């Protein structure tokens, strides 16, 4: 399928950076002597677990909604997601005074439904086994004139996500390597644009769950590979394929795609909590897990890790970290 819109460029990242200014948090870049000693490298963590609503997705959602025309704004936005994208769209829409409709599966965790409603989202529940959420989304969009914003495969979403790495490079300068969690590729594609302009020699790595390495297969074969929904605790990266906008940007700017197993993610969750006093969701641990695997190649280097999110309920957190 052909893309209707042009691919985003670095100019779109700087424009997005201006739009989110004052709405998104400029998240801190944290360091840890323990991890720098472990890797023999200087490691910088861009902490998007401390972003509004708990993940970088607020950046892309807010940037996309800020670009709506007056007509689009009046009718509002529709999104389908049970995860961080839903909350990001609901929060961004609330801040921009527009209605948001979020289509969620009947078995979505009650906490996520409640959080989305709490941000002012109008939640429409569908039966995951009997109904097709894309069709429901499209019908709602057609009937009420809503604009659909997908979780990753949209130029404005990609440009917004790229502002996290933009801030990181602005703050710490050039890096030798940068590790980024990978689902559908919005964060990685946006990061590759920022890297290309601000730190072109950085070796950029996307990191997926081991059980869902469609991005690695796509990157290595040169065409988008589709897989079944992978079984992993990294629920933010349970995507089945990269997108038509994200894939070419990833092909162009990324050095390689790596994977990490669930137990490695748990070890990183424990590290973040015990040593750095931060709560990171399993998907947010993908970058550090891959950096740890590549330890031998990172000695003496300046290494960035994007910590993409921190949304995990406490019961799940304690269950996983006591395994």
* Site for ligand PLP, rule CB under 6 A: 55, 57, 83-84, 151-152, 161, 181-188, 236-237, 239, 281, 283-284, 308-309
Candidate list 192, 308, 309, 310, residue with the active-site label = 308
Burial class (CB in 10 A: 0-12, 13-18, 19+), 51: buried
- Nearest approach in angstroms of CB 12 to ligand PLP is 16
Catalytic residue list contains 214: yes
Candidate list 82, 192, 211, 218, residue with the active-site label = 82
Closest CA to 41 of 199, 177, 181: 177
d(CA 65, CA 69): 9
**C-alpha distances in Å from residue 231, one per residue of 5, 56, 110, 133:** 33, 23, 21, 20
Candidate list 212, 215, 309, 310, residue with the active-site label = 212
Which tokens belong to 260?
């990490």
Q: Which residues of 270-288 are buried (b: 16+ CB within 10 A; e: fewer)?
A: bbbeeebebbbbbbbbbbb
Q: Which residue has the CB atom at the shortest distance from ligand PLP?
A: 309
CB closer to ligand PLP, 101 vs 239: 239
- Nearest approach in angstroms of CB 46 to ligand PLP is 12
CB closer to ligand PLP, 8 vs 83: 83
Catalytic residue list contains 192: no
Tell me the pairing of strands 147-148 and 77-80. Answer: parallel
Catalytic residue list contains 82: yes
Q: Phi, psi (5° rounding) for residue 247? A: -60, -50
- Nearest approach in angstroms of CB 148 to ligand PLP is 16
- Nearest approach in angstroms of CB 233 to ligand PLP is 12
CB closer to ligand PLP, 76 vs 236: 236
Active site residues: 57, 82, 208, 212, 214, 308
């Amino acid at each position: 399928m052909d893309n209707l819109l042009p691919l985003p460029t670095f100019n779109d990242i700087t424009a997005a950076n201006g739009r989110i200014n004052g709405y998104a948090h400029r998240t801190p870049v944290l360091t840890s002597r323990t991890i720098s000693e472990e890797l023999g490298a200087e490691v910088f963590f861009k902490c998007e677990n401390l972003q509004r609503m708990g993940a970088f997705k607020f950046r892309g959602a807010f940037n996309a909604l800020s670009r709506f025309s007056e007509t689009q704004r009046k009718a509002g936005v529709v999104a389908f997601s049970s995860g961080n994208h839903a909350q990001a769209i609901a929060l961004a829409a609330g801040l921009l005074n527009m209605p948001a409709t979020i289509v969620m599966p009947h078995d979505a965790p009650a906490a996520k439904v409640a959080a989305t409603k709490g941000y002012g989202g109008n939640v429409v529940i569908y039966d995951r086994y009997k109904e097709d959420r894309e069709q429901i989304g499209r019908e709602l969009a057609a009937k009420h004139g809503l604009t659909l914003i997908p979780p990753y495969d949209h130029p404005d979403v990609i440009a917004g996500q790229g502002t996290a790495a933009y801030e990181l490079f602005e703050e710490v300068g050039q890096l030798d390597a940068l590790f980024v969690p990978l689902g559908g590729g919005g964060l990685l594609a946006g990061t590759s644009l920022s890297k290309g302009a601000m730190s072109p020699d950085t070796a950029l790595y996307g990191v997926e769950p081991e059980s869902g390495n469609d991005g690695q297969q796509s990157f290595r074969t040169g065409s988008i590979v589709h897989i079944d929904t992978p079984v992993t605790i990294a629920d933010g990266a349970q995507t089945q394929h990269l997108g038509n906008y994200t894939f070419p940007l990833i092909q162009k700017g990324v050095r390689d795609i790596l994977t990490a197993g669930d137990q490695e993610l748990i070890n990183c969750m424990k590290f973040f909590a015990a040593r750095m006093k931060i709560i990171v969701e399993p998907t947010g641990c993908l970058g550090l897990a891959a950096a740890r695997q590549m330890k031998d190649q990172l000695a003496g280097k300046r290494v960035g890790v994007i910590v993409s999110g921190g949304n995990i309920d406490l019961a799940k957190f304690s269950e996983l970290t006591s395994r």
